[in-house]
């Protein structure tokens, strides 16, 4: 067999491999849609689904092309060059590996979407900085990892067998021509067709980049879920990687020392002559607005979202503890409020450091361990005379939380390793025992500032909620219908109920010990559990901020207050610090006209919530609107956000001096 005859047969094998994976990606896409069909908007039509499948097929040409080009290079080309039939096995081996990888990613993508309402995103690159043993335990218990792995291997085994049979099917022999000229024309035609085909695949069903499809332009329907389904497993991973890399680069883009000072002056609202970033963030307290409390308790509730506190979910009855506290005369709830980012570590980083999320994983940065950031909440509370203590209802190794909090000014750190707890899981103790341990170990002699981070409202959901008093009768029958027979969702709602109840009980018990204490309650993030399959932005992302204690009263922040985690420190200081006290913050105090909050993707004002990189915005009833809030200049707000992020990025990456 000549090299040309061998080449002609082998490129057919590459084409068969390509077509096999085009079909496989389409089947996995259809499976993804069918399994998660509850996330499809009721207004979606069959036309939208067909559009999704069509554009998904186009973008999957690229993903299938990856394995085809690898097969062509390492099997076809090498086999032709060396005339070695054994090299054909490389194609089959590559196919097997791709099948197993895609089968695994298909299984992983489903719970990922259920949790984050998106396919794989850039935050998967922080996964192995987490507590891997706890993650593994969670996946085994909550997401039935072992069962899913068994399913992966069964499906992959079947697919590999089909692939082997398919590749073993006959191919066409190269035609034989009497005249060399016809042979040359045929060979040239094959090469040209191959080149055009490669171009067609590269651009996702087009011959030009202008008409190509890629992850940036897959918004082809009005349904957010279907737009995610357009991406296959490989394209979803590629998007995550691209965004991750772009965010690292974009934060540093065009930030010169001169531009940085311009940003600093904007935040300072005056001209500051300095090369020290801290000087641009320096502020003077206007004077205490409440009696200075002896003890302050800042509770960060795991996955404590705001939607269960909303009137429309009054009958849900899973947040009655905090709703009861908010109803008191000496309590106030800030509703337009966002977390720093999508996960617990993002939220904790933002609260502790006082700096926004810029995708630099603050708790792993060298600058974090060189000195305390001027905006650190613990360092500034120490200046006000408080002993600072951090309490975590998990293990000290998680996300370097012990090292991070101590490096950022806390005097003491406590975790579940410091006390005995009768019940818990891979993430730590149950909240009941965490709060009991705190009360037994708490020393109330000296003024103290205490941050408590809970963990029970987190998968795997292992609290025996029925023994704690929860049953589905707690939920109003009209809302109970939404749950139907969804036992898993009911379990999650029961854990929210448990976390809320334990939190409220703890607050009231500590208040009896010291009635002058100030309590601040917020969530680390939302976007984990909703009874709506497609919640609006506010219900999906917003978290509460609650102040409760002597001197606190309704409306004390006015009617136009909004913020995020980075607004907690300046607000607390403005409430209790004497006039002229010098402090540092990136965000503004809610007492000083803070009218917006933001995080890695969103902004929020007293009336609207929107996405930073688009013009999409919703009012708090979930209605999409293109009309800006007349009381908020959104362009100026976005300039402030850009300035805050720029100074934060520089401070973390290069230190506090501009040079």
Q: Residue 88: what pLDDT?
A: 87
Give every residue of the chain whose pLDDT is below 50, as ranges. Answer: none
> Residues, the chain, total?
659
- Please indicate, yes or no, whether residues 455 and 375 belong to a single structural domain of this protein: yes
In a domain, 503, yes or no: yes
Cα-based angle 213, 92, 106 (whole degrees, multiple of 5): 50
**Burial class of residue 194, CB neighbours in 10 A (0-12, 13-18, 19+):** middle
- Please indicate, yes or no, whether residues 561 and 633 belong to a single structural domain of this protein: yes
- Return the beta strands (E) in 348-419 as ranges: 387-392, 412-414
Q: Residue 252: what pLDDT?
A: 56
Final residue of a structural domain among 219, 247, 275: 247
- Please indicate, yes or no, whether residues 311 and 170 belong to a single structural domain of this protein: no
- Tell me if 583 sits within 8 A of 570, measured CB to CB: yes
- Tell me if 390 sits within 8 A of 410, measured CB to CB: yes
Q: Residue 133: what pLDDT?
A: 59
Q: Residue 119: what pLDDT?
A: 83
Phi then psi for 334, rounded to 5 degrees?
A: -95, 115
Final residue of a structural domain among 189, 220, 247: 247
- Please indicate, yes or no, whether residues 495 and 549 belong to a single structural domain of this protein: yes
First-to-last C-alpha distance (Å) of the chain: 68
In a domain, 359, yes or no: yes
Neighbours of 491 (CB within 10 A): 16
- Please indicate, yes or no, whether residues 238 and 375 belong to a single structural domain of this protein: no
In a domain, 278, yes or no: no
Q: What total number of domains does the chain contain?
A: 2
- Please indicate, yes or no, whether residues 304 and 205 belong to a single structural domain of this protein: no
Q: Which tokens go with 143?
A: 């997401």
In a domain, 574, yes or no: yes
Strand order across the 602-604 sheet: 597-598, 602-604, 608-611, 617-619, 624-625
Q: Residue 360: what pLDDT?
A: 83
- Please indicate, yes or no, whether residues 488 and 591 belong to a single structural domain of this protein: yes
User: Would you call 242 helix, strand, or coil by DSSP?
Assistant: helix
Q: What is the pLDDT of residues 550-597, one digit of tens each?
A: 999 999 998 889 999 999 999 999 999 999 999 999 999 999 989 999
Final residue of a structural domain among 217, 247, 277: 247
In a domain, 622, yes or no: yes
DSSP 290: S
- Tell me if 120 sits within 8 A of 109, measured CB to CB: yes
CA–chain centroid gap for 151, Å, is 27
User: Would you call 339 helix, strand, or coil by DSSP?
Assistant: coil
Q: Return the H-helix or E-strand segment holding 33.
A: helix 3-35
In a domain, 424, yes or no: yes
- Please indicate, yes or no, whether residues 211 and 323 belong to a single structural domain of this protein: no
- Please indicate, yes or no, whether residues 168 and 296 belong to a single structural domain of this protein: no
DSSP 593: T
Q: Residue 509: what pLDDT?
A: 97
- Please indicate, yes or no, whether residues 300 and 236 belong to a single structural domain of this protein: no
- Please indicate, yes or no, whether residues 50 and 163 belong to a single structural domain of this protein: yes
Q: What is the CATH number of the domain that holds 467?
A: 3.40.720.10
DSSP codes joined into one string, 550-570: TT--TTTT-SS-BEEGGGHHH
Q: What residues are paired with 424 via a beta bridge? A: 429
- Residues 348 and 568: their CA atoms lie apart, in Å, by 12
- Please indicate, yes or no, whether residues 349 and 491 belong to a single structural domain of this protein: yes
CA distances from 547 to 222, 310, 352, 381, 446 (A): 39, 17, 18, 17, 22
In a domain, 411, yes or no: yes
Q: Residue 494: what pLDDT?
A: 95
- Residues 592 and 575: their CA atoms lie apart, in Å, by 11
Calculate the CA dihedral of residues 243, 248, 253, 258 and round it to 10 degrees.
Answer: 140
DSSP 298: E
**Burial class of residue 515, CB neighbours in 10 A (0-12, 13-18, 19+):** exposed
Q: Residue 137: what pLDDT?
A: 61
Q: What residues are paired with 520 via a beta bridge? A: 298, 547
Instruction: Find all residues with CB under 8 Å of 519, minimum gap 6, and list them.
Output: 296, 297, 299, 325, 507, 510, 511, 546, 547, 548, 549
DSSP 595: B
Q: Residue 423: what pLDDT?
A: 92
In a domain, 267, yes or no: no
Domain that holds residue 119: 3-247
């Amino acid at each position: 067999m000549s090299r040309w005859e061998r080449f002609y047969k082998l490129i057919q094998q590459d084409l068969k491999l390509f077509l096999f994976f085009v079909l496989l990606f389409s089947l996995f896409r259809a499976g993804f849609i069918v399994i998660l069909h509850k996330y499809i908007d009721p207004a979606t039509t069959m036309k939208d689904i067909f559009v999704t499948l069509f554009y998904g097929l186009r973008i999957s040409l690229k993903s299938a092309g990856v394995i085809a080009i690898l097969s062509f290079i390492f099997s076809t080309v090498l086999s032709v060059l060396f005339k070695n039939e054994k090299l054909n096995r490389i194609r089959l081996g590559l196919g097997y590996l791709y099948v197993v990888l895609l089968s695994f990613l298909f299984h992983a993508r489903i719970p990922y979407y259920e949790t984050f309402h998106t396919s794989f995103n850039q935050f998967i690159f922080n996964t192995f900085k987490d507590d891997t043993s706890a993650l593994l335990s969670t996946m085994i218990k909550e997401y039935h990892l072992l069962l899913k792995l068994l399913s992966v291997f069964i499906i992959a085994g079947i697919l590999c067998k089909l692939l082997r049979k398919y590749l073993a099917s006959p191919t066409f022999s190269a035609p034989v021509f009497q005249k060399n000229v016809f042979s040359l024309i045929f060979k040239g035609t094959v090469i040209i067709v191959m080149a055009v085909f490669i171009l067609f695949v590269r651009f996702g069903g087009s011959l030009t980049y202008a008409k190509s499809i890629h992850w940036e332009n897959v918004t082809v329907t009005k349904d957010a879920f279907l737009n995610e389904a357009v991406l296959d497993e490989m394209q979803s991973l590629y998007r995550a990687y691209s965004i991750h890399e772009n965010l690292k680069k974009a934060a540093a883009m065009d930030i010169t020392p001169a531009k940085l000072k311009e940003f600093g002056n904007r935040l300072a609202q005056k001209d500051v002559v300095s090369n020290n970033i801290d000087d641009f963030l320096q502020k003077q307290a206007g004077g205490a607005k409440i009696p200075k409390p002896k003890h302050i308790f800042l509770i960060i509730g795991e996955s404590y979202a705001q939607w269960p506190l909303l009137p429309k979910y009054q009958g849900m009855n899973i947040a009655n503890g905090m709703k009861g506290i908010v109803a008191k005369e000496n309590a106030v709830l800030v509703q337009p409020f966002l977390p720093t980012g999508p996960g617990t570590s993002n939220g904790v980083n933002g609260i502790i450091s006082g700096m926004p999320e810029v995708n630099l994983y603050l708790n792993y940065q060298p600058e974090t361990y060189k000195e305390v950031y001027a905006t650190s909440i613990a360092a500034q509370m120490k200046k006000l005379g408080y002993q600072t203590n951090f309490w975590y209802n998990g293990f000290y190794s998680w996300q370097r939380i012990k090292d991070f909090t101590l490096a950022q000014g806390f005097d003491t750190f406590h975790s579940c390793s410091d006390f005995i707890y009768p019940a818990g899981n891979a993430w730590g103790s149950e909240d009941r025992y965490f709060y009991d341990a705190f009360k037994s170990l708490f020393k109330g002699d000296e003024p103290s500032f205490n941050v408590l981070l809970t963990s029970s409202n987190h998968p795997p959901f292992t609290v025996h909620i029925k023994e704690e008093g929860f049953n589905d009768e707690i939920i109003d029958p009209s809302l109970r219908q939404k749950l139907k027979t969804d036992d898993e969702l009911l379990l999650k709602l029961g854990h929210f109920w448990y976390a809320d109840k334990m939190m409220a009980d703890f607050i009231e018990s500590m208040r009896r010990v010291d009635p002058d204490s100030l309590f601040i309650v917020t969530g680390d993030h939302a976007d984990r559990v909703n009874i709506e399959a497609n919640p609006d932005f506010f219900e999906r992302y917003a978290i509460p901020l609650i102040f409760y204690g002597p001197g606190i009263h309704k409306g004390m922040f006015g009617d136009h207050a909004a913020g995020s985690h980075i607004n907690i420190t300046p607000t607390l200081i403005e409430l209790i610090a004497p006039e002229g006290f010098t402090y540092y913050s990136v965000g503004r105090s809610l007492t000083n006209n803070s009218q917006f909050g933001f995080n890695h993707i969103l902004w929020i004002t007293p009336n609207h919530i929107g996405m930073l990189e688009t013009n999409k915005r919703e009012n708090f009833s979930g209605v999409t609107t293109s009309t800006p809030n007349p009381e908020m200049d959104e362009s100026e707000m976005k300039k402030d956000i850009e300035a805050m992020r720029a100074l934060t990025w520089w401070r973390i990456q290069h230190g506090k001096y501009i040079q």
